[in-house]
A and B are shown apart, each in its own frame.
Chain A
Amino acid sequence: MNNLSPSVTYNKRFGYIAFGLLLLVILFSTYLHHFQPEVLRVPSNTDVSTWHNPAFEQTLIYNRMSEAEKQKIRTEGVIDGNNLSVVLFNDVVMILLGLICYLHARRHFGFWMASCFLIGSFVFTGLEESLWILVGRFLGGSITNPIGEVAFGSYWFTKGGLWFIETPVVACIGWFFIAYTCVLTAGKVFPKMNLLGRATAGGLIAMGIDLWMDPIATSPEIMSWVWGKGDFLLIFGIPLYNFMGWFLLIFLFAILWEKLPQMEKTWGRAKATSRFLLICVGGAFCVMTFLFLWLMIVGNLLSLMGIKQAIQIPLGW
């Protein structure tokens, strides 16, 4: 078939390369996570006594557990941590939810825009989360926060079949369809708003959903992810920067994606794609730097105000 338009030919090539590369990274990360866990120092799900930086006692979940729960975790490990059926169920459900959103996006925005949304949001969030996880894992605990507590400033996921670096693929796909639906919702409900307004609304809708999901997912009964201590503003047991991260990632990504057609007009489809993806990768580093600075600034302010321990909004508000 030589009579295909240039954009169709480009789309095909882009699809093969982008999805192929993503698949390779996922396969390699999954192999490392499950079969060579020592390379990225993946914390064990079966023996929590091997956790260090932070140790089990230095995690936020430790403070939320009764003595019986602590003992259970010490003897049996993370709940459902190695339960293949739970992991498989989560992976399959989330991939299906992501797929149906992708079909919707493809119908309304075409293959190129839909694929850029999927791959862009996947890489943007997966990379940002993995950076945060790995920086904390390798460097956390070496500094104290401005209010004098040892800061780990990190977390990790305990469950996942497929992985993108150190973030479960289910989390990356979750980001994709949450971002997509929230931006779509904002556009439908507030059609007269400008781009900044819609991106803000989309970020806030997503953050509203997360305000309940994360306290549940980090509860001792679920333990889908684990936070280290050392953050000074905790909302429902979760560091504030997590919710800021949710808002920022969706807000920034929504703006970037909506600029894509304009970028295509200016630079052409191939250059627009590569620049879009480069901005996604760079954006992950920028968001992380911003959150780090935020932690330092707020921590110093609290310290100046004479606050000596973390401020917590408890679960049973």
Chain B
Amino acid sequence: MTDITPSGASLLVQDARTQKRNRAEARFKMYGLAAIAVGLLMLVILLTTIISRGTGAFQQTYVTLEVPLLEAKLDKKGNRDLADIKKVSTFGYAPLMKAAFEEKVAAAGIETSLKSKQMAALLSKDAAATLRNYVLQDVDVIGQTIEFEFLTNSRVDGYLKGRVSRDSMANDKSINAAQLDLVDALIADGSLRKRFNLDFITGADASDQRPEAAGMGVAMIGSFFMMLVVLALALPIGVAASIYLEEFAPKNWITDIIEVNISNLAAVPSIVFGILGLAVFINYMHLPNSAPLVGGLVLTLMTLPTIIISTRASLKSVPPSIRDAALGVGASKMQSVFHHVLPLAAPGILTGTIIGLAQALGETAPLLLIGMVGFIASNPPDGITSGLMDPNSAMPAQIYEWAKRADPAFYERAWGGIIILLVFLITMNAIAVLLRRRFERRW
């Protein structure tokens, strides 16, 4: 026994030990603040970069021309037969557009040394196809002169967005000073302008030559069908597995091994699931390449552990007293689970599922291996079967695809795609948070 002697120190004076502890605490608070500040700074940098580079993709430059849709060119027989009109390819429309451009330049009183072909080169390579589609939808417009808004090519668009300048033009064979003069004159005339581009959100991807026409829409549908598959498979399988493991399974070494392996699966790199999907779903089961069905199956494999883990956690968080209460009035095990435990765990399960889906939505690596990256999704699917089985891309895959193409206009679209993807992810996470807030019960 040591004798405890009163130190006689005043409480008003901090002793050395207390001072040391207080300093340590102050230091720790500083570290914490610094860490949060660094995190916030990164977030700000990330968001400003994405927004400053990506918003451009939502605007596109258009030029308005008056196009004479000459019957002699488009419908030689004059009977408005759709089959005949379809025989006229985009080459048949090109002269009309050249003529329209010349007309416009003349009407606006712009002096230029350009020939009509060079003028028409300012239009997107997609412009003729757009006009043709418009005519095919309504053949009665043939013979009239219509006012039509054409996409300009990506150089003109870049000039308006500051990506292309008269200095950078020196190395660029696609555009010359005379063309830029014409662009300036058309801007002054008011017929060439930048406006919001809905096609970027709803449209299909376009080939390397036509970045101005590329859109996210079809890839979005691909992602949608994949999420449908994931939701339809991962939620019931995951919830059933979790309920069984959590409520019914005996606790022995087999269930322990299953539990450990589920946790391990959650940490497996997603590309492993991709190669598994390639081997099993495509090479062995012969499901179609690049199909959202296969993508969905692969992402289901990837999402299942996440859903199982979060479902088990929310089942565990239901107090055992509720189970006792149900069993105590003579409910069977299954009744106690389905009548009482599951409804209480539902918000947690939904949250976990949405987070899992969001994770799957942003996943690119497994899609590389099953051919959903690099594919140009040019046509939106018609119907559910086509949506599931026809080759398609997905949002992150589309972003990756754009980012690796040479034209800087695609690079801008990659950033724009990221904005769309982030909007989806933030929305899903917000729904998860709202669900949790809304249905969370306290007892």
- Answer whether A and B are interacting partners: no
